[in-house]
Amino acid sequence: MQTLDIDRILQGTRIQSLAGRAYQQLFEMIQLGKLPAGTLLQERNLAEALEISRTPVREALSRLEHEGFAIRVARGQLAVKAPSVHEYMEILRVRALLEGDSAAQAARRLPPEAVAVLEQQVTALLDTPAAARTSEHMHRVDDALHNGIAEASDNRLLARMVADLRLKTRVFDLVQVPERFEPGCHEHLTILGCLRERDSEGARAAMETHIGNVRQSIISRLAHI
């Protein structure tokens, strides 16, 4: 009869927990631009910065590589992956379809009070002076709206796909389209207005237009480079 090594199991659990925490910290640093594209992800330095051992950091880096946020460069070193314009455009096309459908479904399900809360958040963000706005705040409001609408579609697979695709485009959003802030907020309010009126097709069209405008802004910027 096999004897369970409780100490080894507990140690493995602790490492997994630390690896999860390390992943979250590194992921947030990448998404917020604190670890810009091209930054080398050196295991020892990161372990010291996060004040944990190298094993959980190694697992966190492996996960980041697997999910496409890190890439092998010269001599096999890991670095933060630079966003690809082609990949970004492809993801936006898929997002327009998925999020348009989720908005149409959410128009029949999202409670009026939830719509009101989202409208208040977007309006408050618009009223915040530019110097006082932070990336964290903007992302928090943006996530609440897009992910909240997807979750209200009552389709868990759809909501998960939307959340995953949004994460893959976030680095690009930060560095490429800052001029989209105010137009994007007003487009969010248009989407929410359709949701408040229970206008499914209006919500679908408004969401598709919103994401299409993001795509067009990238095309316009590239045309002037």
Which residue among 49, 80, 111 closes a domain? 80
Confirm whether 1 is domain-assigned: no
Residues 76 and 90 in one domain: no
Confirm whether 72 is domain-assigned: yes
Residues 103 and 192 in one domain: yes
- pLDDT above 80 for 33: no
- pLDDT above 50 for 15: no
Q: What does the pLDDT average to over 96-121?
A: 97
Residues 92 and 183 in one domain: yes
CATH number of domain containing 166: 1.20.120.530
Confirm whether 173 is domain-assigned: yes
C-beta separation of 104 from 204 below 8 A: yes
Residues 129 and 64 in one domain: no
Residues 119 and 75 in one domain: no
Confirm whether 137 is domain-assigned: yes
Residue 201 belongs to domain spanning: 85-223
Q: What does the pLDDT average to over 187-195?
A: 98
Confirm whether 105 is domain-assigned: yes
Residues 97 and 198 in one domain: yes
Confirm whether 172 is domain-assigned: yes
| Least confident interval from 80-89, 132-141, 194-203 | 80-89
| Single pTM value for the model | 0.75
> What integer pLDDT is reported at residue 225 of this predicted model?
53
- pLDDT above 80 for 163: yes
> What integer pLDDT is reported at residue 88 of this predicted model?
85
Which residue among 31, 63, 80 closes a domain? 80
Residues 74 and 91 in one domain: no
C-beta separation of 95 from 212 below 8 A: no
> What integer pLDDT is reported at residue 139 of this predicted model?
86
C-beta separation of 92 from 100 below 8 A: no
Residues 110 and 26 in one domain: no
Residue 132 DSSP label: G
> What integer pLDDT is reported at residue 113 of this predicted model?
96
Residues 202 and 132 in one domain: yes
The tokens for 172 are 């690009």
Report how many domains make up the chain. 2
Q: What torsion do the CA atoms of 176, 181, 182, 188 make, to the nearest 10 degrees?
A: 120
Which residue among 20, 46, 80 closes a domain? 80
CATH number of domain containing 48: 1.10.10.10
Spacing of C-alpha 132 from chain mean position? 22
197-222 residue pLDDT tens: 999 999 999 999 999 999 888 888 76
